[in-house]
Amino acid sequence: MNVMSKSLKKSCSTQTSISKYFGGLSSSSPSNTQSGINQNPAHLSRGKKKLSSDIAFGLPTKRAKLSVQDQQVEGLDCDPASCQSAKETTLRSGRGAAGLCSSTLEKLKGFTCLAEPSSTICDKGSIEASHKNSLQQTVEEHEDEEEEVKEKESSRLAAKKQAVRLSQFAKSGGAAGAGRGRGRRSAEQSPPLDSSAASGHSKSIYTPLEQQVIQLKQQHKDVLLAVECGYKYRFFGEDAEVAAKELNIFCHLDHNFMTCSIPTHRLFVHVRRLVSHGHKVGVVKQTETSAIKASGANRNALFLLCISESWDKLKKQLTVGLVAVQPSTGDVILDCFPDGPSRSELEARVLQINPVEILVPSDLSEETHRLLQSIANASAQADDRVRIEKRESAQFEFASAMNTATEFYCHTQEKGSRSLSSVASLESQVICCLGPLIQYLQEFNLERVLRSESSFRRLSCESEFMILSAATLRNLDILNNQTDGGVKGSLLWVLDHTRTPFGRRLMRKWVSQPLTDPQSISERQDAVQEILESHSLTLNSIKSLLSHLPDLERGICSIYHKKSSTQEFYLISSSLSRLGNELQALLPAIQSQISSALLRGLLFDTPDLLAPAHSHLKVLNEKAAKLGNKTELFSDLSGFPVLQERREQIQTVIDEIQDHRKEIRLTLKAPALDYTTVSGQEFLIEVKNSMTSAVPPDWGDGKRTMIITGPNMGGKSSYIRQVALICVMAQMGSYVPASEARLGMLDSIYT
């Protein structure tokens, strides 16, 4: 039995696992898969399988002795619907008379007094004939009274839940009603995931997972939430019904809400399908607080585009502003331009940016909306269609957007961050896009990408790039073909022989923005010619070095967003350091063998730019990084005083826990006792069954929980069903499949 003393609990915040062994009935082995028989209905366990009643126990041999010493609940999780059903059939299941009225209870008491002890066995064939009529009369009277109560209660609940449903429908604008999938059911069975549902139900009836989903749904009411649960992602409530319809998967009731699930390895496939149907999807991971929404086959072009427009009545001119951001790489694109009724200028820029999602105000003009819809529907592949997200038009008003931008940039003190003065100098229509974009990215903790000064660039610049209209890009198949909207068959597809992800993104930029400066064109042509025709071993070495690098651009941005794992952080740092060292070693050969001015400049500058990576790599602990151990990630903390302080605090707590071990040994009279670790839970105290009498009663206080662990298909569910059904059989007066059994009295069972 793994337990933890009260004093240890006070000195350590580490969660503990409490396991109890009951003779030969239970077994425990460390595993990430857990199921449990829970004695506290308010502390519901996660991820239980459905209780099945088709289990054969063999011939009953002995009656069970019932002990009233333990009055706590020992049971399995269940949904309120099945609990209500269980209460309504109390008499037939033999669980007791908790739900009967007083008159019926008195009649039943009189009936049981007349019965022989053997008649308590729940076997229809064994009920004596002399009591059949009396029992039938009692049941009929009870059912009549119960039916009347049920009708009144049903009417009251139906009226209340209908009001809740109408309230939710009004909040969502009726949009949610369009997405009912297979497994559709009424509001009386699956309450909506909003605040009204939370207030109408006691929190004790929701599992911890459901409570967390309700909280997330309140923060993101217009998002379909895909919540990571083990090896699959699950949708809940109305989200499940919508997802089931769009993905053509099964939707069913689990606990309090409808649910459907998809495998983790198929997440992005299903997310693309949902996004292509116009839904906004949020991915909730167990190891992260937020995630980037992804869609489209070309993940290297994950652009989010925000568009605003204003009409000058005096000049009779439309001005369009846009801000595009690529969260995975940190690129931010700005532009402001006049446009005509056909929106040809806007179309050209949208095709160049190739966004997967476009933010627009709710009062967008009909002409612009029609253009964006035509672009979104241009691809024959439904999974690659652009999603259009409408936001409140008030966010796009200049005063509101400027306030948002001012609040965001005035607190920025990071080195290299964009200043408030530089933001204020932007065109008004660009600011009208920047404000809503800041608010949208803040929902996913990705707003830091807008702080960097170096990441901002202008999309259109007549003196630097050739202007390619939307019609040109489309009719010449420069970026996409006109057959199905894919890349295959386009000019980009023909020219793209890049070896790296960041090179692929650069190639798309070059194709959509040809140069106009003769000197720049000549320099690039010389570089391309030398790469293709030169037989220099140095160039071959550089090609090989670059082709084996990870996606450095995306990795650096992940670190900047503070979302990288220790493994990714070490991989990017080591790759940058290795690239700098190898290029530094090749500098003499580059000097003598490469003649292109553009290539020489790039290769000579890179080692100096990557110099800081060497110092970062020196203080990293490779072993700890690969194991995901953040506390030991840095081998030298002299340059990180905050980390040094935190490590000392952790070590102080660990020392206290180790000192407490002496007291535990004295209490349990076990001089050699030491802490044990089970399924990643550290500092557990394991006591053998033969030593349970030495465990102090004040040691996991309050409710007790039995945790059954083991591998998949290891028999956990079968064991739980067995115990639950034995308890039911015993308390209905039946024999149980055991030579002897002593059970505590249960007041409910949850599954």
Q: Quickly count: other Cβ atoms within 10 Å of residue 491's Cβ.
A: 17
Strand 281-284 relative to strand 224-229: parallel, antiparallel, unpaired? parallel
Residues 404-433, buried b or exposed e (16+ Cβ, 10 A)?
Answer: bbeebbeebeeeebbebeebeebeebbbbb
Q: Quickly count: other Cβ atoms within 10 Å of residue 278's Cβ.
A: 15
Give pLDDT, residue 144: 54
CA torsion angle 666 668 673 675 (round to 10): -100
Closest among 648, 645, 642, 581 to 611, alpha carbons compared: 581
- Report how far Cα 275 is from the mean position of its chain's Cα atoms: 16
Distance set, CA 153 to CA 157, 159, 160, 401 (Å): 6, 10, 11, 51
Using CA atoms, how far apart are residues 351 and 607, in angstroms rounded to an integer? 36
Q: Which residues does 293 contact at the CB level (< 8 Å), separation at least 6?
A: 271, 275, 280, 281, 282, 283, 357, 444
Using CA atoms, how far apart are residues 703 and 707, in angstroms rounded to an integer? 13
Phi, psi (degrees; rounded to nearest 5) at 129? -65, -30
Q: Report the predicted TM-score, pTM, of the whole model to 2 decimal places.
A: 0.45
Position 639: which residue type?
A: G
Q: Is 708 helix (H, G, I), strand (E, B) or coil?
A: strand
Strand 331-339 relative to strand 456-458: parallel, antiparallel, unpaired? parallel
Give pLDDT, residue 245: 93
Which contiguous run of DSSP H or E holds residue 305? Answer: strand 303-312
Q: Quickly count: other Cβ atoms within 10 Å of residue 85's Cβ.
A: 11
Give pLDDT, residue 44: 33
What sign has the CA pseudo-torsion 702, 703, 704, 708? negative
Closest among 716, 714, 721 to 78, alpha carbons compared: 721
Distance set, CA 659 to CA 244, 684, 686 (Å): 55, 14, 17
Are 433 and 309 in contact, with CB atoms under 8 Å apart? no
Position 414: which residue type?
A: E
Are 531 and 540 in contact, with CB atoms under 8 Å apart? no
Domains of the chain: 208-284 (3.40.1170.10), 304-460 (3.30.420.110), 517-624 (1.10.1420.10), 708-750 (no CATH)
Using CA atoms, how far apart are residues 659 and 46, in angstroms rounded to an integer? 35
Tens digits of residue pLDDT in 113-143: 433 333 333 444 444 444 444 444 544 555 5
In the numeric block, which tokens belong to residue 707?
Answer: 């945790």
Count H helices and E strands in the chain, helices first.
Answer: 26, 20
In the numeric block, which tokens belong to residue 740?
Answer: 């002897």
Using CA atoms, how far apart are residues 361 and 382, in angstroms rounded to an integer? 24
Using CA atoms, how far apart are residues 258 and 362, in angstroms rounded to an integer? 31
Using CA atoms, how far apart are residues 218 and 192, in angstroms rounded to an integer? 11
Residues of the chain with pLDDT under 70: 1-204, 287-302, 379-384, 411-418, 454, 460-463, 679, 700-704
Phi, psi (degrees; rounded to nearest 5) at 465? -125, 150
- Percent helix, strand, coil in the chain, to 5, is 50, 15, 40
Distance set, CA 456 to CA 191, 200, 393, 515 (Å): 46, 48, 25, 19
Using CA atoms, how far apart are residues 20 and 317, in angstroms rounded to an integer? 77
Could you tell me how many residues make up the chain?
A: 751
